[in-house]
Structure 1
């Protein structure tokens, strides 16, 4: 299924009556030409309140999901901001730079008009996306719109998202527990079930005729050298269970994510670990977070929309040994030891993101559940070192009092062998040591972080800002101390 929206963008131009309407129309048309065919051009240039009504009706009829309000000249502050009252989707406001006409009869003063637009949007209590510098030529405005698309995709996606959660959080993992009230505030549906409900659904899929084909599909991905192929029929049965659950229970929602129980009773009752299936779903654009981490699943979904590529959820797990740092990092990469760490999870990262992806067993669980024999019920992880490249580590979370907060930090996965197990990589984030202490610890974030593969901090920051998150932390440079940072340390 297509699990993120394909956003259809539209543009409406506005014009103040004492300025030439033809100037705004011409500039709008130039933006559309610079952007390309995927931008719908509303033919109505808004000068009056009734124009605003007609223009919004036009873009709605055209199936527009996200809208650009373009001040081709100064713009009428009341009608142009009424559009925000009438259009129930992501909105961007920006304006035209001068330079395509003389400064006597062809001056638009949109630079001034944006100030009035922002004031009136505030009076109406409307949240909109405004670019960092909301004034530009046709080519520059077209680029602003391109940067708005991933933001709008995430915002539209959240309105159609349902998160299926199975089971209470494991004991001693309260850090991943948070009130779901904030999900309703965001327009996200959440459907919580017992892991027993999942087990009942799984058992109903016993001897499902689709299992052999699913096993063949998995075997093709894992290759002929997989020593744990005997667990594939169970994993195939589980994957079909989740597929059918999503299909049968999506209801009025359009998109899905899961937050599933995965231990400690899962192995003994289902007979495997679900990591490999989780990795396959996430590779198909359907995030499944570990340990019933609902806000982890939410964060993964936002990252999926912003990057339009597979994401993962990892523990901010362990420090990098000095020996590895000295052998493979020091002098080769411009990072201090305390700017590096290992991101790890048991085996939930999709194979396309791993070096030498292979099926294995969950070592930590085997120590407890199968200490003396060959792995059986602990089989089912997707393991390998995470491929080197740019990443963004981030999370949207709510406090116990349902205040949304978020963090975003850009960095990279280093091309350094981890010498460890699981889905794991050596991560480097500038000033990670300070970020770890004064954001992650100080603000009591859980150990799970979502990861996009690429630098998507700009779009993620704008998504969180649009959602009304006022506390958005990032890895601040040394020249910018954190409020809680001791200046004498």
Structure 2
């Protein structure tokens, strides 16, 4: 995948001047060795120039990690640590940062070998708040070299997301379709997050598409599509137009990314798109998303943002689906009940017209868009990629700006069941514990739109920390409460 941040984490050890500096040196070396032994040498850098004991040391360490190309920072309290210098280091480092601390090593060395970093983390956290510095602190931030190495590894997806957001541009085309106010959210929060937004007319896109007619690259893209679709290539006559559209989007990205490294797209796909372009863009959206360039449907800007976050956290293809329809009682009784530990209200169908990458479908066929073909000629609705979504673990999530410009998010882990959907589009039967209550008291209560991003695997822990880090209030991060834990708006009498 391209369009992804490459991470290089700098480890800087600190020491209070009344503690032996050698403690921090030996512990930093042990931490780096433990990390490289378990996770490899790529993407990690041990700052050798000094142990930070003063503001002068802070400047020296900062220059060193910048020169080494580090875009994420681990401040490692080898002992108690200098609360001013260590937090100034975090303040002046332009990128995500993490604070962790060394545990004591042996009961036989608690005089000259005691570091008191457990205590030092308290002072560090207080000074971070004094200076309004965002930093990631793990659930239990004190550990042995091996345990701290694991903490750094868990920091990686969080850091990737923060680095990515700081260099992201979202390109949109056209206003949201009529009756899609749910996808129309204030863009102010994008700027608060450091994200750029370029809003264009779909007429601009149509003009660019027409300029690509006869592009000599179309044939090679068609060949790629044919190889990808295989026997599922049921609409070969539309591939040349789809290839033309794909090239249009890719060229637009390169011409409009400006100074930003990463791009996501919020694309228009109806109602006038089909009649003017002569196809639907679903398959192209799926192909770009599989290449690391998320494309949301229906000009869903925060959907594109959510997809991008899921892509960099999971380092895998994501998708955007409607939280769409209930599972019929007869299907539940025949194919789910007794086979899987879910009630009917724990299940639902996630669907979109055909925007999910072929690698995330159990089977796929190029078809026409059934819903649109009810009111339009079928030939202009071709271009969807249909199939049942692959079974396995998923995380359903979304980052959203509310109508009153507040950041909100939700995360729910579950799975796609290996049960045939018997329906159309890119679709799967999803199961999330206590989904019915989550649907009512988070999704409906907090006014979320029907689109949710899907990451293929369980990434709730990392996403929760990403949302916290970028400023979503903890009380505004919804998740599916376990049975017996009541939502604030849930009627206590049922």
| TM-score tier (shorter) | over 0.9
CA deviations on 1:186-215 (whole Å, 9 max, x unpaired) are 010100000000000000001111111111
Q: Which of 282, 291, 294 does residue 287 from structure 1 map onto?
A: 294
Compute the RMSD of aligned alpha carbons: 0.9
- 1:8 and 2:14 matched: no
SS at match of 1:363: coil
- In the alignment, which residue of structure 1 is the partner of 2:434? 431
Q: CA deviation at 1:419?
A: 0.3
What's the offset of the Cα at 1:222?
1.2
Cα distance between partner residues in 1 of 2:376 and 2:239: 20
Partner of 1:398: 401
Deviation at 1:226, TM superposition (A): 2.3
2:314 maps to 1:303 = no
Structure 1 residue 2: Cα displacement: 2.4
In 1, the alpha carbon distance for the partners of 2:456 and 2:315 equals 10
Structure 1 SS opposite 2:321: strand
Query: Is 1:466 aligned to residue 469 of structure 2?
Result: yes
Give the TM-score, by structure 1 length.
Answer: 0.98
Q: 1:221-236 alignment to 2 at 5 Å?
A: 221-224=228-231, 226-236=233-243
Cα distance in structure 2, aligned partners of 1:225 and 1:291? 25
- The superposition leaves residues 317-341 of structure 1 with CA deviations (integer Å, 9 ceiling, x where unpaired) of 0000011111111001000000000
> 2:21 aligns to what?
21
Q: Which residue of 1 aligns with 2:91?
A: 85
| Runs of 5+ consecutive residues of structure 1 not aligned to the other structure | none
Unaligned runs of 5+ residues in structure 2 are none
> Distance between the aligned counterparts of 2:312 and 2:216, measured in 1?
34
Give the Cα–Cα distance (whole angstroms) in 1 for the partners of residues 242 and 122 of structure 2: 57
Task: Tell me if the contact between 2:232 and 2:364 (Cα under 8 Å) persists in the aligned partners.
Answer: no
Shift of 1:479: 2.2
SS of the equivalent of 1:68 reads strand
Scaled by the length of structure 2, what TM-score is found? 0.97
Any idea what the Cα deviations from partners look like across 1:423-454, whole Å, max 9, x if unmatched? 00000001000000000000000000000000
Aligned equivalent of 1:481? 486
Aligned to 1:258: 265
Partner of 1:165: 172
Return the match for 2:391 from 371, 388, 391: 388
Question: How many residue pairs are counted as aligned between the two chains?
Answer: 485
Q: CA deviation at 1:306?
A: 0.2
Alpha-carbon distance in structure 2 between the residues aligned to 1:27 and 1:223: 55
Q: Residue in 2 aligned with 1:455?
A: 458
Where do 1:24-63 residues align within 5 Å?
24-36=24-36, 37-38=41-42, 39-43=44-48, 44-63=50-69
SS in 2 for 1:80: helix
- The corresponding residue for 1:330 is 337
Deviations 1:297-324 (A, max 9, x none): 0000000000000000000000000111
Deviation track 1:195-250 (CA, whole Å, cap 9, x = no partner) reads 00000000000111111111111111112452310001110110010010011111
SS of the residue 1:150 aligns to: helix
Q: Give the Å deviation of 1:401.
A: 2.1
Q: Which segments of structure 1 move beyond 6 Å, counting only runs of 4 or more?
A: none
